[in-house]
Amino acid sequence: MDKVTKVYNFGKPIAVDMADEECKALCGALGKEYLKGYEKRILSYVTTNETPDRYGDIVRALGANLENYRKNPVVMFSHQHAEMPVGCSLKIWIDDKNKNIPAQALFLDDRVDPSGRSDLVYKFAASGFMPACSIGFVPKKYNTPSSKKERESLGLGDNGVEYTAWDYLEFSPCSIPANPEAMQNAFKSIENKNFVDKKDIDVMEKWNLFDANLLDMFVEISTGKEKTISVPKQIDPININVIVDYSKIDHLLKKIDIMDKKLEELSVLKCDLDSSKRLPVRDMYDAYFEKKLNIKSE
């Protein structure tokens, strides 16, 4: 099977209380440069558990292989693999007792990601209005029971798949869900917390986090003002009053007429001088000035 992405956790990620020395040590162990203040940008997620998802599938936490992921523990945004990561997992492990996979994610700030994208994702997640997280993985072994009784005994949906062995690729905080009621609650959360400023709104549009209408609504709800952002957008055609100076146009037209006449004279002159020989451009102009103005060029 190909790579699969699943959305599991909808609980608000929890801020991790970590000392700067521990954060520095964890960054060093992963080969990451530690910057002051990173310890305040760590969120704890339960990246996946064995609860059936909306498709009726179950991913068995105990079947996860974290070996390769720990070599490159990237945190993405909405599985946008063509973009840069927004952070990394300082810690990730399999919780045998609770049958889930927790992780502690460090999110970059503008010192490393000057685009503001990573910081924006962090703010969304930390605020609690973008709580969902999703994993990307490659199935190695899976079970598709044929009988309804077996599916029910495993807790699967009608067409559910049980993934029993799989490689962990990455996990991603997820964007706002498409459900209108969920979006409404999210906007209310933003309005109450008041954590978004104009810079954040610019970054939202730059990275196409929302479509145009949703972004307009987001701005109005979060700021109480009409959208005024710096990134240009497509707008409806507008009527513009243009003042035209026709005297300048007439002057230019007269100049064009004069040039046309000069070109005609040059063409005739060229034929008169030597109809059997093609003159170079320089010689043609020299002949023209000599004949018309009685001036020899240097």
DSSP state letters, the chain: ---EEEEEE-SPPEE----HHHHHHHHHHTTPPP-TTGGGSEEEEEEEESS--TTS-EE-GGGEE-HHHHHS-EE-STT-TTSPPSEEEEEE--BTTTTEEEEEEEEP-TTT-TTSHHHHHHHHHHHTSS--EEEEEEEEEEE--SSHHHHHHHT--TT--EEEEEEEEEEEE----S-HHHHHHHHHHHHHH----HHHHHHHHHTT-S-HHHHHHHHHHHHSS----SS--------------HHHHHHHHHHHHHHHHHHHHHHHHHHHH-TTSPPPHHHHHHHHHHHHH-----
Instruction: Specify the range with the lowest mean pLDDT, choosing from 37-41, 51-55, 72-76, 173-177.
Output: 173-177
Looking at residue 62, its pLDDT comes to 94
CB atoms closer than 10 angstroms to residue 73: 23
Q: Do residues 205 and 139 both lie within one domain? A: no
Q: How far apart are CA 133 and CA 171, in angstroms?
A: 7
Across residues 17-38, what is the average pLDDT? 96
Say if strands 64-65 and 162-173 run parallel, antiparallel, or are unpaired.
Answer: parallel
Nearest alpha-carbon partner for 108 in 124, 126, 121, 97:
121
| Residue 298 resides in a domain | no
Looking at residue 201, its pLDDT comes to 59
Q: How far apart are CA 122 and CA 196, in angstroms?
A: 12
Terminal C-alpha separation, the chain: 81
Q: Is the pLDDT of residue 283 over 90?
A: no
Averaged pLDDT of the chain: 75
Q: How far apart are CA 136 and CA 168, in angstroms?
A: 7
| Residue 168 resides in a domain | yes
Domain that holds residue 187: 178-238
Q: Do residues 170 and 184 both lie within one domain? A: no
Q: Do residues 168 and 33 both lie within one domain? A: yes
Q: Do residues 126 and 217 both lie within one domain? A: no
Q: Is the pLDDT of residue 109 over 80?
A: yes
Q: Do residues 269 and 280 both lie within one domain? A: yes
Looking at residue 15, its pLDDT comes to 93
Q: Do residues 191 and 265 both lie within one domain? A: no
Across residues 186-200, what is the average pLDDT? 50
Looking at residue 20, its pLDDT comes to 96
Looking at residue 275, its pLDDT comes to 52
pTM over 0.75? The answer is: no
> For residue range 208-264, what is the model confidence (pLDDT) as tens digits?
555 455 555 555 555 555 544 433 334 344 444 555 556 666 777 777 777 777 776
Q: Is the pLDDT of residue 55 over 60?
A: yes
- Higher pLDDT, residue 57 or 199: 57
- The most confident of the ranges 78-92, 146-160, 202-216 is 78-92
Domain count, the chain: 3
- Higher pLDDT, residue 150 or 66: 66
Looking at residue 136, its pLDDT comes to 87
Structure tokens at 283: 């010689």
Instruction: Specify the range with the lowest mean pLDDT, choosing from 131-135, 177-181, 197-201, 204-208.
Output: 177-181
- Higher pLDDT, residue 287 or 17: 17
Q: Do residues 205 and 189 both lie within one domain? A: yes
